[in-house]
Amino acid sequence: MLTMGFKPQGVLFDLDGVIIKSMEQHLEAWQYAFDQVGIHIRKEDFFQLEGRGVRSVVEELTKKYELDPGLKQTIMETKMAYYNRIYKPEFYDGLFELLDFLKKKQIKTAIITGATRERVDDLMASHLREFFDESVTSDDVANTKPFPEPYLKGAGLLNLKPSDCVVIENAPLGIRSAKEAGMVVIAVRTTLEDEYLEQADCIVDNMIQVKKILVNAIAS
């Protein structure tokens, strides 16, 4: 649970697996792309890499499965094309209730993600613009998660100290990034079990439980 007396001034959200139910679609697309070169990737191998940019993911997976590095560009392009065909945004239950609450309380918010700037801007324009003050994508930093740079940049854009921020994450690389940035982390069990999330300050099942925690912290 969060430290007694901690009152957050900002809430920073990961995107995939926290705001939108997209990790399963990403997994399907990566599996399709790797299937074309004769490799089936396990979901745990991909979900643990969530938060990295697409180039970093293909780099790690080709190394893990000992593939010819010359295949990376083709695999990446195949994955992105397939994902764009199947992508349909679906939001987690309780998300918009939480965002409404934060907006009413004038708590600053940002999306911090390994996704591209183009993808985030499209999603913001169609669904999320009124709820988020800032966003940081893989195109905006030199070092994506697990480095702390994305979350530090997000806090800076919100004009907040890292210690005044709460992060909502679902994967170990994002949790590590936020903790190294000096932030409190709430992990949600949307894609991985507790053993992968243990570095977080607390672990919950869904956004409804996240809201309960933040309501108590902000009201304290």
Q: What is the pLDDT of residues 103-158, one digit of tens each?
A: 999 999 999 999 899 999 999 999 999 999 999 999 999 999 999 999 999 999 99
CATH number of 10-20+91-219: 3.40.50.1000
> CA separation (Å) from 68 to 37, 63, 65, 132, 207?
10, 9, 9, 41, 41
1.10.10, 1.20.120, 1.10.150, 2.60.40: CATH of 23-86: 1.10.150
pTM for the whole thing?
A: 0.86
Residue 39 has pLDDT above 80, yes or no: yes
Query: Tell me, what's the pLDDT at 220?
Result: 64
Question: How do the domains of the chain map onto residue ranges?
Answer: 10-20+91-219, 23-86
Q: What angle do CA 98, 51, 46 make, to 5 degrees?
A: 115
Residue 22 has pLDDT above 80, yes or no: yes
Question: pLDDT over 70 for what percent of the chain?
Answer: 97
Q: What is the spatial distance between Cα 103 and Cα 97, in angstroms, rounded to a whole number?
A: 10
- Which of the pair, 150 or 4, is modelled with greater confidence? 150
Same fold, 10-20+91-219 and 23-86: no
Query: Tell me, what's the pLDDT at 3?
Result: 61
| Token code pair at residue 50 | 């969530």
Query: Tell me, what's the pLDDT at 4?
Result: 53
- Which of the pair, 23 or 163, is modelled with greater confidence? 163
Q: Which residues, including other chains, have CB under 8 Å from residue 80's CB and lie 6 or more apart?
A: 29, 54
Q: What is the pLDDT of residues 80-99, one digit of tens each?
A: 999 989 988 899 999 999 99
Backbone torsions φ then ψ of 115, nearest 5 degrees: -70, 170
